[in-house]
Amino acid sequence: MSFSPTTRPLEPDLRLGRVPVLTTGPTDDPSRWTGEHRDELRRLVTEHGAVLVRGLGLRDLARTTWVFGRLASGLMDEKEAFAARQSFGNGVYSSSKWPPTQQMCMHHELSYALRFPGMMEFACLTSPAGGGATALADSPTVLDALPDALVERFEREGWLLTRNYNDDIGASWTDAFGTEDPAAVEDYCRAAAIEFAWQPDGGLRTRQRRSAVIHHPLTGRRCWFNQIAFLSEWTLDPEIREYLVDVYGADGLPFNTRYGNGDAISEETVDLINRVYQANTVREPWQDGDLLLVDNLRTAHSREAYEGRRDVLVALADPVRLADCSPTVEVTPS
């Protein structure tokens, strides 16, 4: 990108241990400002993995929707959601409905799907009284910090996600797939290489095998890209896990992960992955009006526990196909 002699490139604050923060000057029109700086903002996301833009004053749905649309090359609807969201249309959603007292661990959005967002867009309309940061971790760094033998096994075998959809906990199958038509769900699952089985109570059980390590389609960098730890039974609060196992059985948990060959993943392995994430986490507390752009392939994100009201809007931008990311595990839709 070239700049005129009077134009200075945007320079975020890159202090160690925090998310890159770019503070704007006063602006009465956030949509116009982001449109004028779109290419450079996207360059910063590619270069740093994420950038938080402070000073835009995003306080309402309409203005935020315009900003999301200007920055993205396209927005996508969410399928296979693991937690309910409110949809505002045009590819804009509320943040996932997750208990405020519980941390949402590091993950890459829809990393179990064949099509996922290349960029996540977050806007904080109302910041919480305490906590609630959307923390980040660089996936190539996490990959390098994990034991070689563990990475090699996941590269070779991939990871397996099992889900049990019901109306009691988590997203129901109608919420996750956006339809009340079982035939439409079956068609989606076949096209997405997902094994499925309807249960006697009307619930749905699915299983899908995916790559745990991919290559970034723009930079070629190897990324630890999955939800192995986040969707594991061992990341659940122990009391909640005990209750769910008691009610639904060990095979009836709303979600769980295994090695790609079906072997169980130990609690120690999940703890190790989460510790590596924690050691490489950066955070910046939300302020009202903030905009956060995250490279979903390079950067994992989490949501910390919080107090008070927290109003964050989310857009899933720039759809990417798994097939374009050099997956290590072959996936064959039926």
* pLDDT tens digits, 59-95: 999 999 999 999 999 999 999 988 888 999 989 999 9
* Residue ranges in the chain assigned as alpha helix (H): 30-36, 38-48, 61-71, 139-145, 148-157, 173-177, 182-191, 238-248, 267-279
Domains of the chain, start order: 141-275 (3.60.130.10)
Q: What is the pTM of this model?
A: 0.94
User: Could you tell me which residues are beta bridge partners of residue 54?
Assistant: 23
Q: Which amino acid is at 143?
A: L
Residue 5 confidence (pLDDT) = 38
Determine how many CB atoms are found less than 10 A away from the CB of residue 278: 13
Strands 92-94 and 281-282: unpaired
Q: How confident is the model at residue 8 (pLDDT cuts 50, 70, 90)?
A: low
Does the structure show a pLDDT above 80 at 170?
no
d(CA 259, CA 307): 36
Write the CA distances from 208 to 56, 88, 153, 195, 259, integer angstroms.
41, 29, 17, 6, 11
Residue 332 confidence (pLDDT) = 87
